[in-house]
A = this chain, B = another copy of it.
Amino acid sequence: MAQTAQHNRQIVLAQRPAGAPDASTFRLETSIVPTPGPGQMLLRTLWLSLDPYMRGRLNEGPSYADPVAVNGVMCGGTVSRVEASNVAGYAVGDLVHSYAGWQDYALSDGSDVIIKLPAGATHPSHYLGVLGMPGFTAWHGLTNIGKPKKGETFVTAGATGAVGQISGQLAKQAGCRVVGIAGGAAKCDFAVKELGFDACIDHHAPDFAAQLAAACPNGIDIYFENVGGTVWDAVLPLFNLHARVPVCGLIAHYNGEGFTGADRLPGTMFSVLVKRLTFTGFIIFDQYPTYYGQFLSEMTNHLANGTVNVREDVVASLEDAPAALTGLLAGKNFGKVVVEVAGG
């Protein structure tokens, strides 16, 4: 069913998944489009962002944000159009980047709006990627934690993903040797040929660790950690003294894998000590008040100048979002995943 002006498709959390989410995790419901009351506006979802952090919201228990309630609408960043407005500063037709969730329509009092898109924004879905949370994650983690210096070696996994494609290109502009890690030859080719990485290694290769070492002849100075898992074992021996590790994600473990086997903590902490490493975890939502304006200005210029390339992986409809999220968590996407809910 496509989006209409009468019906509001909503994808709700049917039950909390054990392991990877599957067909039983979400449920499609349809309700009547709500009517905004005083101080409210009606947002129509054009684009929905799918991001790895969403897996964490499916779990019960404390994290940095509240879990999605069972039977509640699944959360998610959106680009939405104002359809009706009783909120000062928002007029019918305005585009906003908000968190309207996995549904066609949402009421908003404006407090969940991150920004109003500039008039004439030519590629609204970029506000979910390169100009939004993933791009900002890449920029902040690289700039303020990674602190790249010319001639250093920067490594990221998920090289063609929403964060990796941006962090790698920015690191290249900062004068680093940039080595990506991705799943499969197509992604690795893309990282080198279209994103300008110096090398990109397929983590499925049986000699992955040796290939990574060969691609980093001067060691690793910055490792942008967004995957965790076995990639870590190949990265750890390559750290140079005083290397920096921004930690923004651990997608390999989001479905609960990875807690068996030998204890890798002592070895990691030994490296922290002996190599004087710095690990810094960050949640990008903390950084909006301080840095989002600066980031948006810089990244908008990059897009205008063509100095940053972007690849999106467009999901055709809202109904496909659950399967696309499962695929994203398994690394099946190729680029920033956005769902075309109504498009535009």
Contacts and interface: CB of A to CB of B under 8 A. Distances in A.
Given A276-B281, A278-B278, A281-B276, A266 B270 contact: no
Contacts of A279: 269, 272, 277-280
Interface in A254-270: 258-270
A248 interface: yes
A174 to B, nearest CB: 22
A282 interface: yes
A280 to B, nearest CB: 5
Contacts of A247: 269, 272-273
Interface in A278-327: 278-283, 286
Contacts of A270: 250, 253
Copies of this protein chain in the complex: 2
Contact of A276 (B267, B277, B286): B286
Nearest to A268: B265
Nearest to A254: B270
A190 interface: no
A273 B266 contact: no
B228 A266 contact: yes
Contacts of A152: none
Contacts of A266: 228, 250, 253, 258-259
Contact of A249 (B232, B273, B280): B273
A282 B228 CA distance: 23
Name the residue in A258, A266, A272, A286 with the highest tally of chain B Cβ atoms < 10 Å from its Cβ: A266
Nearest to A232: B265
Contacts of A253: 266, 269-270
27 contacts: A225-B269, A247-B273, A249-B273, A250-B266, A250-B270, A253-B269, A258-B263, A259-B262, A259-B263, A260-B262, A263-B263, A263-B265, A264-B264, A265-B268, A268-B268, A271-B281, A273-B281, A273-B282, A273-B283, A274-B281, A275-B281, A276-B281, A277-B281, A278-B278, A278-B279, A278-B280, A278-B281
Given A250-B266, A260-B263, A272-B279, 13 more contacts: A63-B274, A225-B269, A228-B266, A247-B269, A250-B273, A258-B263, A263-B264, A264-B264, A269-B279, A273-B282, A276-B281, A276-B283, A278-B281
Q: Nearest 9 A-B pairs (CB), nearest first?
A: A272-B281, A264-B265, A273-B281, A279-B279, A278-B280, A265-B265, A253-B266, A258-B266, A276-B281
